[in-house]
Amino acid sequence: MAREEVTLLGMWASPLALRIEWALKCKGIWYKCIDEDLLNKSQRLLTHNPIHKKIPVLLHGGKSIPESLVILEYIDETWKQNPLLPEDPYERAMARFWAKFVDEKCWTTIPGVFGNERGDEQEKSKEKAIEELRILEKQLEGKKFFGGESVGFLDIVCGWIAYWLPFIEDITGLKLVDETSFPALSAWFKAYLSVPWVKELLPPPDKLRAHLITFRQKLLSSRLLNI
Amino acid sequence: MAREEVTLLGMWASPLALRIEWALKCKGIWYKCIDEDLLNKSQRLLTHNPIHKKIPVLLHGGKSIPESLVILEYIDETWKQNPLLPEDPYERAMARFWAKFVDEKCWTTIPGVFGNERGDEQEKSKEKAIEELRILEKQLEGKKFFGGESVGFLDIVCGWIAYWLPFIEDITGLKLVDETSFPALSAWFKAYLSVPWVKELLPPPDKLRAHLITFRQKLLSSRLLNI
């Protein structure tokens, strides 16, 4: 059987691109990943995502699919093995509800902690982020994964928090999640990052750390220049 | 056969609640609508949507489902007749992609035109809104509905623009869409609003106009007070 051509326009240190890699790996789909230079966007990226000009974009069967949550649903509907979303419509609705919550809330506040220096803005982001993480903590209570006994859609959506947060805490010197206040989330961090196909795709820690430090310096200095 | 209990926590002048009514009506589902007072939120609303405390919320089978796009998918998966989303995974992905675009872009810029008085903020929103509407215009070229020959998911998602925009243009005195620059969108406005179950649920125009004028006055004066 010929291998299907599946290509991901991504970037090795992008949490949103990693979502797509996790989903494809979970489904056992072979794919090629093209690392995009986000500071100098390629014609390829602009052609395949002319509206948002952002990664990730999945290329499959001559079509381009942008937006990580949209791609995850596409993957789940195209390759039926190892379903990501549950079967029950209400459970599916809840997975989508929480995915939207993570993308609209945590995806703003956690980078808000990272992209600011000590000050009001950072403090506000930190407080909000902790409040939102407490809500996720509650969702996890009594469960090993967001998906229940095994990894599902919402675990893949939230997965970046498990890996990126400790780097953010370390680099900013601000602690958001500890085992005492967040026992369920802390246990989930470990359980999720121990899943073989999750672990296998994690960016190398030293390389990621160096990248995040440089990225943050750029963020902070561009902000200073804007003032 | 006993009638299923389907309740919508909505509000007669809410475009997002109307999405849900349209979808239920399109599926032929009987439902009860409870009009929530958004200035004095009920315990019922806070109980059924404790995270966002917003309408719409669908109550079905003892469960609460908030967030209009999440509810639309739930409705489509629960009642299979008259499917809203197409069958093909890529077409489904595109409907979801554009729905997200409308909610993240037009849902900010069009209210930005409405909720500001003549000035930079309003001009910026107007320019952005027109730019986004041009993108939607392009999506519609050669098609009667976003869904093709018949109304689908994306038509229901965009439907508020067809009905609300002329009121916004009239009240603010700013024209965004005309038949010459937006032939496809203008034709779609008419075609969509002529669908019997779409038309049947539209808020009475005089009542909506009066509501929008009062609502805008409140918005503008609260903004002035904040300055």
Which CATH number covers residue A136? 1.20.1050.10
Q: Give the Å distances, CA to CA, from B36 to A39, A102, B56.
A: 47, 27, 9
How many secondary structure helices (H) and strands (E) does chain B include? 10, 4
Same-domain status, A54 and A109: no
β-bridge pairing B6-10 and B32-35 = parallel
Residue A33, in any domain of the structure: yes
How confident is residue A116, by pLDDT bands cut at 50, 70 and 90?
Answer: confident
* CA distance to partner chain A, nearest, from residue B17 (Å): 17
Same-domain status, B14 and B107: no
Cα separation, B33 vs B83, whole angstroms? 22
For chain A, what is the domain count? 2
The reply to whether residue A96 touches residue B63, judged by beta carbons under 8 angstroms, is: no
The two structure tokens encoding residue B62:
């003892």
Largest separation between any pair of C-alpha atoms in chain B: 58
- Note whether ipTM > 0.90 here: yes
Confidence (pLDDT) at A1: 46
Same-domain status, B158 and B209: yes
For residue B175, give the nearest of B117, B130, B220 by alpha carbon.
Answer: B130
Q: Residue B218 is which amino acid?
A: K
For chain A, the average pLDDT equals: 94
Q: Residue B111 is which amino acid?
A: P
The reply to whether residue B73 touches residue A90, judged by beta carbons under 8 angstroms, is: no
B211 touches chain A (CB under 8 A): no
How confident is residue A2, by pLDDT bands cut at 50, 70 and 90?
Answer: low
User: What is the number of CB-based contacts under 8 A between chain A and chain B?
Assistant: 56
Residue A133, in any domain of the structure: yes
Same-domain status, A50 and A109: no
Largest separation between any pair of C-alpha atoms in chain A: 58
Confidence (pLDDT) at B85: 98
**Nearest residue, CB atoms, B93 vs list A51, A65, A96:** A65
For residue A154, give the nearest of B149, B47, B209, B70 by alpha carbon.
Answer: B70
Residue B16, in any domain of the structure: yes
E-state strands within chain B: 6-10, 32-35, 57-60, 63-66
Same-domain status, B122 and B206: yes
Cα separation, A214 vs B127, whole angstroms? 35
The reply to whether residue A70 touches residue B135, judged by beta carbons under 8 angstroms, is: no
Range(s) of the domain holding residue A45 = 6-78
Same-domain status, B123 and B222: yes
Same-domain status, A114 and A221: yes
Element (H, E) at B172: helix B153-172
Same-domain status, A109 and A66: no
Residues B121 and B187: beta-carbon distance below 8 Å: no
Residue B114, in any domain of the structure: yes
Measured distance between the N- and C-terminal CA atoms of chain A, rounded to whole angstroms: 58
Element (H, E) at B33: strand B32-35
Confidence (pLDDT) at A118: 75
Sequence-separated (6 or more) residues with CB below 8 Å from residue A216? A114, A115, A171
Mean pLDDT by 10-residue block, N- to C-terminus, for chain B (227 residues)? 83 98 98 96 98 98 97 98 97 98 95 86 91 97 93 98 97 95 97 98 98 93 66
Examine the fold and report which residue of B26, B49, B78 is the final residue of a domain before the chain moves on. B78
Same-domain status, A108 and A217: yes
Same-domain status, B53 and B113: no
Confidence (pLDDT) at A177: 96
Examine the fold and report which residue of B31, B48, B78 is the final residue of a domain before the chain moves on. B78
Residue B95, in any domain of the structure: yes
How confident is the model over A135-147, as a mean pLDDT? 95
The reply to whether residue A51 touches residue B96, judged by beta carbons under 8 angstroms, is: no
Interface of B with A in 48-77 (CB under 8 A): 51, 61, 63, 65-67, 69-71, 73-74, 77
The reply to whether residue A93 touches residue B100, judged by beta carbons under 8 angstroms, is: no
Examine the fold and report which residue of A78, A105, A129 is the final residue of a domain before the chain moves on. A78
Residue A175, in any domain of the structure: yes
Same-domain status, A159 and A205: yes
* Residue B93 main-chain phi, psi, to 5 deg: -60, -40
CATH code (residue B64):
3.40.30.10
For residue B32, give the nearest of B55, B4, B6 by alpha carbon.
Answer: B6
Q: How far is CA A123 from the centre of its chain?
A: 23
Confidence (pLDDT) at B54: 97
β-bridge pairing B63-66 and B57-60 = antiparallel
How confident is the model over A83-100, as a mean pLDDT? 98
* Residue B138 main-chain phi, psi, to 5 deg: -65, -35
Same-domain status, B48 and B111: no
- Is it the case that residue A225 has pLDDT exceeding 70? no
Residue A26, in any domain of the structure: yes
Residue A59, in any domain of the structure: yes
